[in-house]
Copies of this chain bind each other. A is one copy, B any other.
Amino acid sequence: MARLHFIILIFSSIFAISSSSFIRPPHPFDPLTRTELKLVRNVIKKTYPVGPKYNFTFQYVGLNEPDKSLVLSWHSSPDQNVKPPPRQAFIIARDSGKTREIVVDFSSRAIISDKIHVGKGNPMLTIDEQEAATELVHKFKPFRDSIRRRGLKLSEVVVTSSTMGWFGETKTERLIKTIPFYLNGSVNTYLRPIEGLTIIVNLDKMKVTKFKDRFTSPLPKANGTEFRFSKLNPPFGPALRNAVLFQPNGPGFKIEGHIVRWANWEFHMSFDVRAGLVISLASIFDMDMNKYRQVLYKGHVSEIFVPYMDPSADWYFITYLDCGEFGCGQSAVSLEPYNDCPAGAAFMDGIFAGQYGTPTKISNVMCIFEKHAGDIMWRHTEVEVPGLEITEVRPDVSLVARMVTTVGNYDYIIDYEFKPSGSIKMEVGLTGVLEVKPVEYVHTSEIKEDDIHGTLIADNTVGVNHDHFVTFRLDLDIDGTNNSFVRTELVTKAPKSVNTPRKSYWTTKQKTAKTEAEARVKLGLNVEEFVVVNADRRTKHGNEVGYRLFPGPVSGTLLTQDDYPQIRAAFTNYNMWITPYNKSEMWTSGLYTDRSQGDDTLAVWSQRNREIEKKDIVMWYTVGFHHVPCQEDFPTMPTLSSGFELRPANFFEQNPVLKVKPIKLTTTPCCTCTNG
């Protein structure tokens, strides 16, 4: 045990030292530290009453996005000796029924901006207020009566909070719906919903404002919902052997503060309570040019839209916008060494402000590890050269930055995989537990309705049809900020020459998108390639320097444009969008997502149809899943993955991994097994 643990400990301590000792000033993208969060609270406390007794709550506290030009001039200066941008916090607070936007400056230790949000939508929900609301419901007499009337034990009832969306209401107070579940013999909460109750809580007033007991429904059995190894009965299996990656020279990455350096990559890795894992200033070292070249200024999940496909009273509103409503960072979980991330992984904590401004830690909320999957980086066997048989192979290795966000029942695994070849792969894994609906049936032959809106996956249990749309915001800076988006259509042609027996071939038709409208993409309609190019740079052979998007499997929205959830999530109307960089356009579902009305989404911003040619542009890409559940998804779901790849296309002059050394096992381990 000792040695492997030792390696991990070294890394943890490197991180701990550099992030807390402040030997040098923080990186402009460093997340707010515990000290800074405390400072925010103290600064605000001078102006507003803060604490459980007062009507002032911190709904979001994060780094105030530093001015991009200042970050870039700092980053590109030799030894980064140019002054970094001023370090500030951005706070969204709820103050006596109003939403307040506050900027706190750390050097002056003062509020430098403070205004009331007058538009639509509400801020992210805090964990504290959701807990308070569900506790309130638990004690609410009519609710207790309803539970008793069902013959259920109150002590076994868990109440959870659900956002309620917007369905044309003119008043959109901070209301949530709460949904009760019945544990009694299960710890797999979400598999045992108690249906038929409408319970609405006003979060500002912290009062139940509506309660209706509409009907009773059967309860899915607790049988088979167990998922804890310690409580399951044998036989166990299938049996898998342990494996440990041994690195004779230690892992190849170095972490300094939040900066990760590995192979030819360098990037900054941060945590935001809304987005979760944020990658910034990712650059790749070009051996020919002997310098780092920019690729990704900032990349993160901007929203996860999860509409369910049952229009009935208990379900129609379940159309979550997870990051904007619940916080994909706030919902992120501590990763388990060896299981969530393999041996050799390094971990980083996440710190965010609780409802009253107090720092809260999620330990090991992100991890970084080398992936040795057995893939081949490149190879060729050449047999045509007389007297020689040449085989050159390089095994692939990549670096993965991971977070897992568990928004209620679903666990989303978000991976950024950096390859020495210059590729960045974004991968989304879905696992966790389904949202289910109780029914009276145990067999499909008993089903009376036309449509049960899902699959009968267990006794009295329908796994309800739904979608997942994970929208990434990728502020690409391909070798600088002066970028264009080129769509290359592959077009079938008839040969002009009469001297060929071929009747057809395809050729490329390039078009640079001039405005946002020209860059909205529904994948699959045309055969197209998509490249972000640098308008200032060409290779020595004259090709535009670029990065190409390789889409993964495609799923788009099937909701109608006039449906309320779709209006709010209109950013899923296309699979891909390009916008000009705008500091305020970070959250595709709008800054205020809870009960939003769709007036501040990517789709609205894009309607301005701004110019995007030779500009600093941002790519928005949505990874989509349509999910018709199956029995294998019960009681927990084997991971289903999808994603996409960004890959250099004429960015380098040649194969950037041509000169990677092959693996020669000159130094090999001698391993023995010991009981740890």
A interface bracket (residues with beta carbon within 8 Å of B) = 35 or more
- Which of these, B158, B310, B385, B393, contacts A189 with CB under 8 Å? B385
A309, chain B: closest CB distance, angstroms? 4
Contact A397 B507 (CB under 8 A): no
Q: Which residues of B contact A413 (CB under 8 A)?
A: 376, 379
Contact B189 A384 (CB under 8 A): yes
Verify if A289 is at the interface (C-beta below 8 Å from B).
no
Take A393-B340, A502-B564 as given contacts and tell me if A669 and B244 are in contact as well, using a CB distance cutoff of 8 Å.
Answer: yes
Contact B252 A239 (CB under 8 A): yes
Contact B555 A553 (CB under 8 A): no
In the complex, besides A459-B541, A635-B658, 18 extra interface pairs with C-beta distance below 8 angstroms are A1-B665, A158-B386, A229-B661, A236-B660, A237-B661, A240-B420, A245-B372, A248-B673, A339-B393, A377-B638, A379-B432, A380-B636, A490-B558, A492-B559, A502-B563, A553-B553, A631-B653, A632-B648
- Which of these, B252, B384, B661, B671, contacts A246 with CB under 8 Å? B671
Contact A555 B527 (CB under 8 A): yes
A661, chain B: closest CB distance, angstroms? 5
The interface centre, meaning the residue of A456, A497, A631 with most chain B CB atoms within 10 A of its CB, is A631
Contact A431 B243 (CB under 8 A): no
Contact B241 A309 (CB under 8 A): no
Distance between Cα atoms of A190 and B390 in the complex (Å): 13
Chain A at the B interface: SS class: loop
Per-residue B-contact encoding for A275-287, CB less than 8 Å = 1, 0 else? 0000000000101
Contact A391 B187 (CB under 8 A): no
Verify if A219 is at the interface (C-beta below 8 Å from B).
no
Contact A542 B158 (CB under 8 A): no
Take A246-B244, A340-B376 as given contacts and tell me if A633 and B655 are in contact as well, using a CB distance cutoff of 8 Å.
Answer: yes
A304, chain B: closest CB distance, angstroms? 16
Q: Which residue of B lies closest to A339 (CB)?
A: B393
Distance between Cα atoms of A456 and B653 in the complex (Å): 11
Contact A458 B558 (CB under 8 A): no
Q: Which residue of B lies closest to A396 (CB)?
A: B639
The stretch of A25-33, A38-46, A54-62, A443-451 in contact with B is: A443-451
Take A227-B380, A632-B648, A669-B671 as given contacts and tell me if A542 and B251 are in contact as well, using a CB distance cutoff of 8 Å.
Answer: no
Q: Which residues of B contact A227 (CB under 8 A)?
A: 380, 392, 658
20 A-B pairs in the complex with CB atoms less than 8 angstroms apart = A4-B669, A190-B384, A237-B264, A244-B247, A245-B246, A245-B372, A340-B393, A372-B372, A422-B632, A423-B638, A443-B541, A444-B542, A445-B542, A494-B560, A504-B558, A529-B626, A635-B654, A636-B658, A637-B655, A670-B671
Number of copies: 2
Per-residue B-contact encoding for A625-653, CB less than 8 Å = 1, 0 else? 01010111111111111000001111111
Contact A659 B232 (CB under 8 A): yes
Q: Which residue of B lies closest to A239 (CB)?
A: B263
A393, chain B: closest CB distance, angstroms? 4
A517, chain B: closest CB distance, angstroms? 23
Distance between Cα atoms of A562 and B503 in the complex (Å): 7
Contact A626 B490 (CB under 8 A): yes
Distance between Cα atoms of A663 and B542 in the complex (Å): 52
Question: Using a CB-CB cutoff of 8 Å, which residues 469-501 of chain A contact chain B?
Answer: 488, 490-492, 494-495, 497, 499-501
Contact B377 A542 (CB under 8 A): no
Distance between Cα atoms of A8 and B24 in the complex (Å): 50
- Which of these, B232, B263, B638, contacts A240 with CB under 8 Å? B263
Per-residue B-contact encoding for A366-399, CB less than 8 Å = 1, 0 else? 0001111111111111111110101111111100
Verify if A505 is at the interface (C-beta below 8 Å from B).
yes
